[in-house]
Structure 1
Amino acid sequence: MGDSAKKTVRIGDTTLRDGEQTAGVVFSAKEKVAIARALDAMGVHELECGIPAMGAEERASIRALVNLGLNARLITWNRALIPDIEASLSCGVGAVDLSLSVSDIMIENKINKSRDWVKEQLKRSLGFAKDHGLYVCVGGEDASRADLGFLSELMGIAHGLGADRFRFCDTLGILDPFAMYEKVATLTAAVPGLEIEVHTHNDLGLATANALAGIRGGATYISTTVNGLGERAGNAALEEVVMALKVACGIDVGVDTRKLSAVSRLVGKASNRDVPAWKAVVGERVFSHESGLHTDGVLKNPANYEGFPPEAVGLTRYIVAGKHSGTNGIVESYRQIGIEVSRDEAQSLMATVRATAQRLKRPLGAEELANLYRRLLGSDTCRLSAA
């Protein structure tokens, strides 16, 4: 990734804000505390923790997070309105995101205002926030469809008034990585003194790719959610972004990746959305191998077919006995359940294992493998491993 691999990249997680905006998702106050603590313990740099203007209950949950004394910076989401900022101040946070619609289609059809109104509202709200000593991220809603000249002008105003960064939002998830790179690179060059965050949505399945492209274009922050929760198709997934930066881009953001699987399960349970077994990076079975050639390669050296070890994300490798299993895979499948078989025995078992998996349309479980062994080779020859 060139020079970008040398710079500092920070993760701002919005599971507790945008993640909870997933249709049907509600976190209890207790769950919010548990999620915040888990994210903080793994080294996530910033947590977007809620929307104070929603009401007293939301503000109480945010104050509870403030009182935890986390290392991560807590930031709240606000419309660029002074009453919203006052609600955030009442929670005791030291950082705010001030969101403004910045595309002409939203300025004209959503808020029924003008570009001049947006500029004046930015000045008014940002000035108030900085007068109260807040760290300020200016959030550009629908920035991916906005005029780049207008965005540059807004960013220049924000920088001049002391904003700390600008959030480039692909609100509809419509960009491809090439367009993301070009837009962020253009804005970075236009206002070099203002840091840029990329906030990407996954409507086209490109949220992680667009986040990485934004970093290549000059952004220094990435907005994520655990398991990719978020509006519609969701946001860039924390686990995907962190591991993609590390493995594909050579950028270690300082997050303890061994805890990714655990926090994924925690958020999956709290959101009532089970983590699919095949979910990239954290799915329980993404380190499963069945095909004879692949299994043989992994058993000889895991690096043959694994870009990073399962332990790196808190998972375990599985060798599966199924339709495509080879001799070495059969041997390993039985070893995993405590039965030692020779290669000759595995050869004898293989045809039946494959046929059974074909009939059942799934791999064989431990009990099925043990029963098959006893039926074909005789229980008196079963040698249980000391392990």
Structure 2
Amino acid sequence: MNKRPFVRVNDTTLRDGEQTPGVAFTTEEKVRLALMMQAAGVPELEIGIPAMGAQEQHSIQAITAALRASQLNSTETMAWCRMTEFDISQALNLGLDWVDLSTPVSRQQIRSKLNSTPEHVLARTDRLVKQALDFGFKVCVGMEDASRADMDLLLSVAEVAERAGASRIRFADTLGILEPFKTQQMIGELRRHSELEIEMHAHNDLGLATANTLAAIDAGATSINTTANGLGERAGNAPLEEVVVALNVLSKADTGIDLLQLPLICQYALQASGRQVSLQKAIIGAGVFTHESGIHIDGLLKDINNYQGFSPSLVGREHTLVLGKHSGISAISTVYRNLGIELDEQQCQLLRATLRQWSETHKCSPDEVALRALAQSVAIINCPVGEDYGSN
């Protein structure tokens, strides 16, 4: 059996995740999130932008100090910097292990954002990578807008970065416009021409960030950027929980991350960010292991593997059966049995008709009080119910 490759997760919740419009973490929230991720085995965190000023630098320093003071002391830290002397200077003396020196690499951004030329980008990359190394940092060269760049220029940037002493290049799909086949092609071309670590930074504008991240790994990427709950600019980044669980379930790579810790991390990130996620958000949504359909529940009750792609226990969760418009006899009988109420087939048929009408009216799944009330309404049982059962 082939051993799965190790992929290093560089989580950027505390940097790119905080760039979500309206999201602003306190230093205390950042430190707690960082420690939670370290405890879960996340090996690398991108934790801020030193050039933002003294307050940001204070937060970065608090995070690096807390991580090193913990018993684990196992997570490395990175700061995001522009490819400038000033940004590198602002990252000094903060306890950081890495700097990501980011530079536009598409002709669009080189011309319209930097008012520069590819030749100048290459020269500056060579000079500033060496400067950052002289200060003691490990260096990742961030290739901004790489998905719109000419491959010849990407290869040239990678060559210059490698020759200057960088350890890694970051391929940034800054606008989230890639699809997996193109991702695999571009990352594969970089892999064939460079010995550097390759990091995939995917945005989710087309809903493809997770897929593109997996495709990049298939093509030879050795490091990936994620954010808890997919926080980030616009439609966000590749979600930590989706990517890590997918890598495990699909046997693509090992990350060393404890999957059981992911719901706790994501829940705290939701609280700290003031954001909500859909009930059907993959991995962490409240309803993703909940079943109503009669066909599905009947199949699950016969053999759980009939409708289980992976066990919810992988992330510390479990299946839940609820009743609604699409519930069948097996589901109704099972759910009521769990309430201590035995029903025959005729009673289940009566309830099924009532359930359909109730579901269309209330637009939700009935809770225990409502279920008992429904049974009472068709004269199946005689039990007291609260007056407010229909308000849920």
Provide Cα deviations, 1:69-124, integer angstroms capped at 9, x if missing partner.
Answer: 14211111001112211211221212110001111110000010111111121112
1:51 equivalent in structure 2: 49
Contact 1:99 1:139 in 2 (8 A): yes
In structure 1, distance between residues paired with 2:370 and 2:355: 9
Matches within 5 A, 1:1-387: 6-68=4-66, 69=68, 70-191=73-194, 193-336=195-338, 338-344=339-345, 345-375=347-377, 376-379=379-382
Contact 1:302 1:309 in 2 (8 A): no
Q: Which moved more, 1:359-368 or 1:207-216?
A: 359-368
In structure 1, distance between residues paired with 2:324 and 2:227: 35
2:390 equivalent in structure 1: none
In structure 2, distance between residues paired with 1:331 and 1:262: 34
* Matched residue SS, 2:187: helix
Letter in 1 for 2:112: N
Percent same amino acid among aligned pairs? 45
CA drift at 1:7? 1.9
Shift of the 343–262 alpha-carbon distance from structure 1 to 2, 3 Å rule, reads farther
Aligned structure 1 segments of 4 or more residues deviating by more than 6 angstroms: none
Letter in 2 for 1:161: A
In structure 1, distance between residues paired with 2:185 and 2:383: 69
Letter in 2 for 1:31: E
Q: Which moved more, 1:195-204 or 1:125-134?
A: 125-134
Provide Cα deviations, 1:213-262, integer angstroms capped at 9, x if missing partner.
Answer: 11111111111111111111111111111111111244232211112212
**What is the aligned length?**
378
CA drift at 1:335? 4.2
In structure 2, distance between residues paired with 1:323 and 1:309: 25
In structure 1, distance between residues paired with 2:28 and 2:143: 31
1:385 equivalent in structure 2: none
* Matched residue SS, 2:199: strand
Contact 1:16 1:49 in 2 (8 A): yes
Letter in 2 for 1:101: P
In structure 2, distance between residues paired with 1:250 and 1:143: 24
* Matched residue SS, 2:89: helix
Q: Structure 1 regions of 5+ residues with no counterpart?
A: 383-387
Shift of the 67–379 alpha-carbon distance from structure 1 to 2, 3 Å rule, reads same
* Matched residue SS, 1:6: coil
Q: Which moved more, 1:234-243 or 1:249-258?
A: 249-258
Provide Cα deviations, 1:300-347, integer angstroms capped at 9, x if missing partner.
Answer: 2222112111121232321111011012211232345x3332343434
- Report the RMSD for the aligned CA atoms in angstroms: 1.8
In structure 2, distance between residues paired with 1:153 and 1:354: 63
In structure 2, distance between residues paired with 1:252 and 1:179: 24
In structure 2, distance between residues paired with 1:269 and 1:301: 37
Letter in 2 for 1:243: V
Shift of the 250–186 alpha-carbon distance from structure 1 to 2, 3 Å rule, reads closer
In structure 2, distance between residues paired with 1:315 and 1:335: 22
In structure 1, distance between residues paired with 2:354 and 2:27: 52
Contact 2:372 2:383 in 1 (8 A): no
In structure 1, distance between residues paired with 2:44 and 2:383: 60
In structure 2, distance between residues paired with 1:222 and 1:136: 15
In structure 2, distance between residues paired with 1:347 and 1:251: 48
Contact 1:282 1:315 in 2 (8 A): no
* Matched residue SS, 1:231: coil
Provide Cα deviations, 1:25-77, integer angstroms capped at 9, x if missing partner.
Answer: 10011111111111111111110000011011111111111111142111110
* Matched residue SS, 1:151: helix
In structure 2, distance between residues paired with 1:175 and 1:31: 33
* Matched residue SS, 1:363: coil
Shift of the 148–46 alpha-carbon distance from structure 1 to 2, 3 Å rule, reads same
* Matched residue SS, 1:15: coil
In structure 2, distance between residues paired with 1:369 and 1:354: 13
Q: Which moved more, 1:121-130 or 1:360-369?
A: 360-369
TM-score, length basis structure 1: 0.93
In structure 1, distance between residues paired with 2:302 and 2:44: 41
In structure 1, distance between residues paired with 2:252 and 2:185: 21
TM-score, length basis structure 2: 0.92
Q: Which moved more, 1:150-159 or 1:325-334?
A: 325-334
CA drift at 1:381? 12
Provide Cα deviations, 1:184-216, integer angstroms capped at 9, x if missing partner.
Answer: 10111111x111001010111111111111111
Shift of the 147–250 alpha-carbon distance from structure 1 to 2, 3 Å rule, reads closer
* Matched residue SS, 2:372: helix
Q: Which moved more, 1:354-363 or 1:120-129?
A: 354-363
In structure 2, distance between residues paired with 1:181 and 1:17: 26
